[in-house]
Amino acid sequence: MPHLMHLVRWLCLEGEDPALLCAQHRELRRQVPLLYALLSVNALALSYTHFAFAPRWMTVLVPGALVTVSIVRMAAWLRPAAADVPPERIVRKLRITTVLAVVLALLYVIWALRMSAYGHSDERAHVAIFIAITVIGCIFCLMHLPQAALSIATIVTVAYLSHYLLSESAVYGAIAFNIFLVTLVVARVLLNSFAAFFDLVRSRAELDRLHRQMTILAHTDALTGLPNRHAFFAELTRMGQERSAGGGDLSLGMIDLDRFKAANDTFGHLVGDRLLEAVGQRLQAISPAPGMIARLGGDEFAVLVPVPASRAMAIAEDLCVRLSEPYRIGDLVITIGASCGVATAEDGEGTHSLLYERADYALYYSKESRRGLATLYSPQLESSRLSEQAIEAALQSCDVEREMAIHLQPIFDVASGRILSVEALARWTHPLLGPVRPDVFIPLAERCGITHHLTTRLFAKALGHAARLPGDIRMSFNLSAHDIVSHETILALAHAIGMSGLAPSRIVFELTETAVVRDFALARESLHLLHTLGVRIALDDFGTGQSNLGHLNELPIDELKIDRSFVSGPKADGRRHLLAAVVALGQSLRLRCIAEGVEEADQLAHLKEIGCDAFQGYHGAKPMPIDELLRLISGRETEGDGRRAMRS
Ligand code: C2E
Ligand code: CA
Ligand code: CA
């Protein structure tokens, strides 16, 4: 009984694998029309040979009806089918085919066997041949639907075997038995080849599944589950092409987390990873549809949305706010921020790579000047991006020896007015662009990866100047964030000092806090190395960065350069009392305090009052070439000698 149920279920194609059904359908579409053609031709041939012997209804009406049904079914199978016919429809179609094939086969065989009552031995032999070739042809054509093939074989075999074995002719009995044996063999071959076909379909489906899985993995960021850089650029290209063809807006927002690196360094990489996961979850929760949010790598994300600038800015501002809400990671509560740059290609203008460059530039601007906020790419940003591009190109091919110089700005002792040291400041005059400010080209050099080259050449020039200065005057040199985390640069600087013959204690390296915190551990290592050589370290622009007192303790700092916003300029008046506090703090930590940007006499008087050690600024002297500085020094010496002579 269970076997019978199993057989019935098999015959009804119940529970068949959808992939197998699709493959069967595909193969049958090529073969079933051939089957109907074969049946029709064979039927016509049999009618033709029996035309003179059998009644008209047997040679015209019956085969006419059978051939008509066959042609209708052939046409149904030849109709173009949709690429993805649902499995339920395929099952229905295959069931109908099985039933119809069985009914037709039965009608054909009954008709053929009835025909054997007419004609002579040749005509009767034709009937036997008709049955043999038709049944074998049917089995072959229905190879991919074994349910139909075996049903036909069974019905036809039962019919002709009983007919011929019951007839008196031993020859036809033998022929029938022979056909039966061949049918058995062909049926076995069919089952074998269907099993092989089934295996092939299954392994192809498995291969497809693996391929799909691999594609998903290759396009997904493992940590956050968001689409990765690869998927993002593919989508940007796709949406960009769609927009340029059909018009419409496309906005791109680039997001960079603020203070993520510090959190990662402070709490460790495991916490850092969980923080990124949490950021990913927040981003996924606000994922716009249509559009995409992806992780491009590190703490950088991107949002791609087919909306105009105003809507994109609203999304970006919302993202910045949501990403700055505190994160609970285990027992820790961590607050970071996010800055965003937005660019829009309205009505498909521009290429997608230009859109990326613009959004990236707007992000860079946000990071530099509007931290924690979203910045929309504007015509002003466009002109500064273009001029930066020109400067960047010029910088790449810059001949440092010829185009760049070092100017020196004296740093004076507040009490005595004596020159204690000079700060080396880079000057670049490009043959076409003219003078370019260091605070413009130094960050650009960092972005295009030529900082090492620039720093080492400029330092060599600065050392050359320092060697011409009186032995009691030190020289300060500025290091950038990239310099301080590059072992190669630090070793090159140490080597250059050694080769110059100057006492390392005459060299001061100036660093901003922002540069130090980019990779605090590495920066600390480099500073300790330089300090061990005897070089002095100054914290530059103090008061503008994080002003983290921990840094003052952990780093080998000798000098504090208090930012000029405490001394001169619009904010200075309100910060005067702070200046006194910073000086007191510096002195309590035994750091020499240097006030920057002293432009007027009363500012110097105030510094004297609060006991600041040294000052730098236009009130003392502007940065100048070495020869001018040497003249200034010797002039001051002569002046000093004169005053001493007058007093004596
Ligand atoms: P900084 O280290 O804070 O250097 C002092 C800047 O303040 C210099 O600008 C100087 O000309 C200017 N300055 C001096 N006294 C006064 C004053 O009384 N009032 C005003 N308003 N400004 C004053 P400069 O030379 O344009 O340099 C800008 C920045 O570029 C420097 O800031 C420094 O961070 C960077 N820089 C310059 N040369 C180099 C270098 O060789 N390497 C690196 N990494 N950075 C450099
Ligand atoms: Ca400086
Ligand atoms: Ca400074």
CATH of 400-647, one of 3.20.20.450, 3.30.530.20, 3.40.50.300, 3.20.20.150: 3.20.20.450
Q: CA-CA distances (angstroms) from residue 438 to 109, 411, 417, 449, 644?
A: 99, 19, 28, 16, 40
pLDDT of 575 higher than 90: no
Expressed in angstroms and rounded, the spacing between residue 476 Cα and the centre of ligand 1 is 11
Expressed in angstroms and rounded, the spacing between residue 609 Cα and the centre of ligand 3 is 22
For residue 348, what pLDDT band results from cuts at 50, 70 and 90? low
- Three-class SS state of 23: helix
Average pLDDT across the chain, whole number? 91
Q: So what's the pLDDT on residue 242?
A: 84
What CA–CA distance (Å, rounded) separates 579 from 585? 10
pLDDT of 263 higher than 60: yes
For residue 58, what pLDDT band results from cuts at 50, 70 and 90? very high
**Residue nearest to ligand 1 atom 46, measured at CA:** 478
pLDDT of 374 higher than 80: yes
Q: Which two tokens stand for residue 540?
A: 């530059």
Q: CA-CA distances (angstroms) from residue 84 to 14, 25, 90, 91, 198?
A: 20, 11, 10, 14, 20
Q: So what's the pLDDT on residue 246?
A: 77
What architecture is the 229-377 domain classified under in CATH? Answer: 2-Layer Sandwich (3.30)
For residue 534, what pLDDT band results from cuts at 50, 70 and 90? very high
Nearest one of 322, 311, 313 to 285, comparing CA atoms: 322
Q: So what's the pLDDT on residue 550?
A: 73
Ion ligand 3: residue ranges with CB closer than 5 A: 540-541, 596
Atom of ligand 1 nearest to the CA of 437: 26
pLDDT in tens, 170-187: 888 898 899 999 999 999
Q: Where are the domains of the chain?
A: 2-211, 229-377, 400-647
Q: So what's the pLDDT on residue 80?
A: 81
Transcribe 186-220 into DSSP letters.
Answer: HHHHHHHHHHHHHHHHHHHHHHHHHHHHHHHHHTB
Expressed in angstroms and rounded, the spacing between residue 516 Cα and the centre of ligand 3 is 14
pLDDT in tens, 107-127: 999 999 999 899 898 999 999
Expressed in angstroms and rounded, the spacing between residue 540 Cα and the centre of ligand 3 is 5
pLDDT in tens, 429-458: 999 999 999 999 999 999 889 999 999 999
Contact 294, 232 (CB under 8 A): yes
- Three-class SS state of 519: coil
Expressed in angstroms and rounded, the spacing between residue 263 Cα and the centre of ligand 1 is 30
Expressed in angstroms and rounded, the spacing between residue 529 Cα and the centre of ligand 1 is 25
What CA–CA distance (Å, rounded) separates 422 from 409? 5
Q: So what's the pLDDT on residue 547?
A: 67
Contact 528, 549 (CB under 8 A): no
The most confident of the ranges 347-356, 394-403, 632-641 is 394-403
What CA–CA distance (Å, rounded) separates 496 from 505? 14
Mean per-residue pLDDT, 129-140? 90
Mutate which of 478, 602, 619 for ligand 1 pocket (most atoms within 8 A of beta carbon): 478
What CA–CA distance (Å, rounded) separates 220 from 402? 49
**Residue nearest to ligand 1 atom 17, measured at CA:** 597
Q: Provide the percentage of residues in the chain whose pLDDT is more than 90.
A: 71
pLDDT in tens, 445-502: 998 899 999 999 999 999 999 999 999 999 999 999 999 999 999 999 999 999 999 9
| Residues with C-beta less than 6 Å from any ligand 1 atom | 409, 425-426, 437-439, 442, 458, 478-480, 510, 540-541, 564, 597-599, 616-618, 623
Atom of ligand 1 nearest to the CA of 599: 18
Domains 229-377 and 400-647 share a fold: no
pLDDT in tens, 293-328: 999 999 999 999 999 999 999 999 999 999 999 999
**Ligand closest in space to the Cα of 438:** 1
Q: So what's the pLDDT on residue 517?
A: 80
